[in-house]
Structure 1
């Protein structure tokens, strides 16, 4: 088990780091923010004029659209059989690789083709991000699940840091496209390994029993999907954790996009100074993600899902409160050094919630719909999180003519995450982690949750408690 887990984690970290290294998470991630000036100068929309900032912004928005729409589709596809989790991940990586390679060979200066490739990269990553955490959660040893998840999410920031380093000396968009081609080539072995080891890394075989007859056809597939969504959304704890995650993404997404602008316009930092201090920020993000993955492993060492979910939501509430206070202090910074110091501490606190939050999300829904739960959380957190936040925070800065006011607004918004995660912790403490979703639904709790004793757990659909 440990050797198998080690191999899979190596694959996951390589994939996740590689994807983030090409800025797949949107315009604020990795090297894409460095390449945007070159893209605006070299890529044209209809005529020879440079791209507007709004058109460049759509490169991130269309990625998020594909990412959000495809996540639940891949989550549903993964339930076709034991091997379909690995196959779904492989399909997503094929789409992602094809999109990156197409950007190099076919895009040229066409804005429309670049937009299409960005849409497909979002579709490709959706398969991996919605399914890989579930596989890690199943394969990692009892009591260590959060540590492995923390390592997985740390790979995001490793990839972003590598992307910043690689693109530091890129002189043009033509040169920048080479990075995408190299990444596409490096991803091919990962696809082969996913398919070669598909039987080894299938998710937990436990499924819902006594459910409705199998769905068939297109309408049946839609009905099955709606049934999954209903099961997920019936969990009040999941909904609260998901809303907290959306508030987190709102703040982080807005600050990530406008951070360099704040340094330039408000604190008058030079470009070399901004790049010189950007990588230490990412290192602290990595440290926060890994450190609190380890802390979550200690706090939630009890394999019971309610204990894990309660520990995760409690850590999220505490660290997000610290992060909100730090962001408020960042708004008062009068020098570049103070700004970077406080922002570093804020990001370390905020990103320390990544692993515990995902543990909470997976622990508050039935086992067989965990991937669908993650897919829904991805869609919600981006739709009302980092999708609108750059526009809203930028508009507040324009209206107030002060970045300090905009940063203070982000700090206040972060308090919504504190409230949601605190309420989730209270609800889990009172009623347990998993809420019944339909009359007479019975399913098996995983062996990791019962100290290696398979136990059938039944729910009373009327009471909001586990009997």
Structure 2
């Protein structure tokens, strides 16, 4: 039979998660619908990380505007991530039970409104700016907990791996664009940092319109051949998720890597600006803008390469070793450590070499993002995936990048001891950032330990899904 003929054969798809009414949908139209959904989710994820890191591209201007030190500057990221983290369990609960599309629409609307509101805060109300940054985190949490589960419900196997890789490319690409857009929009408006926070809200409006008119929410478990409804309690879901040894270990690994990567992404531009000033002997504002540009370009390039490289290596490797995903994650993190140390030690005297090492280190550290999402989707059953994602987000941010920017800022202020010269500022930040490779090393070890359990945990999830599919074949709509 030709491919065209096979595509014209009607297939049956549930039109609602709550009943068994079916409608004929051609496989071709289904592919188009899935592709549109994927594109919109990618764009929102891109916007998510642009919004998050635009503020890092103008962080020094914000410090000057509000007259704050490194600790308070780190607090801006900490409160954002803390609110993001604290609300994740709630959105995980809702995401397994109610409309995920509606949650994303509300989330994008909230973070767009609070981001633009932050740009109008007067300089004597720093506390209000901190509060608004925390509200941005609430909006983003509603999206991050459920978007990967939608992808998992429209794709499976290798295609799911590829689509999750594409989705996660938006993380480094959006982060890099955030640095670039933040610094250059500010520069275009006479170094007024507030305009850097007014770009992403406008794009957020476009994303909401695309969501409303173009995205159709898939049935939970549909790609895996089982259509599931949720009846178990949230506490039971959490208990069952934390019984999965692989989940615990990849959560620990991601948390410790996030501690290192979160602090480096937040403090990296300022640290490198100080290094460039010391190397050139000039404090030209254009040079600071260029550093943010370079950092953004390197982050984009390294992140995209890392996600694609990690996903492809793992996809090929797990054909000969079913434990390939966590092994690739662990080895990549451990390989990044020497380059992180080199960046911190050489940045003042060897600028070109520093940028090369940053690219290599970020490529290796970013290689695990898509793999973590993929592992999470195949070791957890569909009706608990949002809950599992929210638990990972909660722990990862609580012990990872929620605390690390503030901790690094406090350590930096301790070493600086009130001094304002560039050399002391560079040395104090370098000494504080030296903590990050040691923490990241723990993450690499946790991923390697996860390889011991991932085969059993995946098999257990697949058996549950298969039993549900059999029940559906006999006319029973399984509820889990």
TM-score range, shorter chain: 0.7 to 0.9
Q: Which residue in the other structure is 1:410 paired with? A: 436
Q: How far has the Cα of 1:338 moved from its partner?
A: 1.8
Q: How far has the Cα of 1:385 moved from its partner?
A: 0.9
The equivalences for 1:256-275 within 5 A come to 256-265=265-274, 268-269=278-279, 271=288, 274-275=291-292
> Does the C-alpha gap of structure 1 residues 403 and 74 become closer, same or farther in structure 2, counting only changes over 3 Å?
closer
Alignment pair present for 1:33 and 2:56: yes
Provide the rounded CA distance (Å) in 2 between the counterparts of 1:121 and 1:313.
Answer: 32
- Contact 2:75–2:405 (8 Å) recurs in 1: no
Alignment pair present for 1:9 and 2:23: no
Q: Which has the higher contact order (CA 8 A, sep 6+)?
A: 2
> Does the C-alpha gap of structure 1 residues 361 and 412 become closer, same or farther in structure 2, counting only changes over 3 Å?
same
Q: Which residue in the other structure is 1:376 paired with? A: 391
Q: Given the alignment, which residue of 234, 257, 260 partners 1:248?
A: 257
Q: How far has the Cα of 1:292 moved from its partner?
A: 2.0
Q: Which residue in the other structure is 2:243 paired with? A: 234
> Does the C-alpha gap of structure 1 residues 292 and 442 become closer, same or farther in structure 2, counting only changes over 3 Å?
closer
Q: Which residue in the other structure is 2:21 paired with? A: none
TM-score by length of 2: 0.76
SS in 2 for 1:320: helix
Provide the rounded CA distance (Å) in 1 between the counterparts of 2:345 and 2:291.
Answer: 19
Provide the rounded CA distance (Å) in 2 between the counterparts of 1:3 and 1:208.
Answer: 24
Q: How far has the Cα of 1:179 moved from its partner?
A: 4.3
Q: Given the alignment, which residue of 313, 332, 356 partners 1:319?
A: 332
Q: Which residue in the other structure is 1:151 paired with? A: 166
Provide the rounded CA distance (Å) in 2 between the counterparts of 1:276 and 1:185.
Answer: 22
> Does the C-alpha gap of structure 1 residues 203 and 90 become closer, same or farther in structure 2, counting only changes over 3 Å?
farther
Structure 2's unaligned 5+ residue stretches are: 1-29, 280-286, 417-426, 473-480
- Contact 2:47–2:200 (8 Å) recurs in 1: yes
- Contact 1:208–1:442 (8 Å) recurs in 2: no
Q: Given the alignment, which residue of 317, 339, 356 partners 1:341?
A: 356
Q: Which residue in the other structure is 1:428 paired with? A: 454
Alignment pair present for 1:107 and 2:121: yes
Q: How far has the Cα of 1:243 moved from its partner?
A: 0.1
> Does the C-alpha gap of structure 1 residues 395 and 40 become closer, same or farther in structure 2, counting only changes over 3 Å?
closer
SS in 2 for 1:319: helix
Provide the rounded CA distance (Å) in 2 between the counterparts of 1:231 and 1:37.
Answer: 45
Q: Deviations over 1:428-467 (max 9, x none)?
A: 24x343668xxxx9842499xxxxxx4579xxxxxxxxxx
Alignment pair present for 1:183 and 2:200: yes
Q: How far has the Cα of 1:185 moved from its partner?
A: 2.8
CA RMSD after TM alignment: 3.3
- Contact 1:235–1:435 (8 Å) recurs in 2: no
Provide the rounded CA distance (Å) in 2 between the counterparts of 1:180 and 1:391.
Answer: 21
Structure 1's unaligned 5+ residue stretches are: 44-49, 216-223, 448-453, 458-467
TM-score by length of 1: 0.78
> Does the C-alpha gap of structure 1 residues 456 and 163 become closer, same or farther in structure 2, counting only changes over 3 Å?
same
Q: Deviations over 1:48-93 (max 9, x none)?
A: xx23443333222221121012212112112334xx1111111211
Which region of structure 1 is more displaced relative to structure 2, 183-192 or 117-126? 183-192
Provide the rounded CA distance (Å) in 2 between the counterparts of 1:56 and 1:332.
Answer: 24
Provide the rounded CA distance (Å) in 2 between the counterparts of 1:446 and 1:355.
Answer: 28
SS in 1 for 2:96: helix
Q: Given the alignment, which residue of 111, 134, 155 partners 1:96?
A: 111
> Does the C-alpha gap of structure 1 residues 201 and 103 become closer, same or farther in structure 2, counting only changes over 3 Å?
farther
SS in 2 for 1:139: coil
Q: Which residue in the other structure is 2:94 paired with? A: 77
SS in 1 for 2:221: coil
Q: How far has the Cα of 1:367 moved from its partner?
A: 2.2
- Contact 1:285–1:347 (8 Å) recurs in 2: yes
- Contact 2:183–2:293 (8 Å) recurs in 1: no
Q: Which residue in the other structure is 2:75 paired with? A: 58
Q: Which residue in the other structure is 1:444 paired with? A: 465
Q: How far has the Cα of 1:130 moved from its partner?
A: 1.0
The equivalences for 1:453-464 within 5 A come to 454-455=469-470
- Contact 1:75–1:131 (8 Å) recurs in 2: yes
Provide the rounded CA distance (Å) in 2 between the counterparts of 1:139 and 1:332.
Answer: 46
- Contact 2:180–2:293 (8 Å) recurs in 1: no
Which region of structure 1 is more displaced relative to structure 2, 329-338 or 54-63? 329-338
Q: How far has the Cα of 1:192 moved from its partner?
A: 3.1
Q: Deviations over 1:102-156 (max 9, x none)?
A: 335x534433332232122101111111111111122125322121111111112
Aligned length: 415
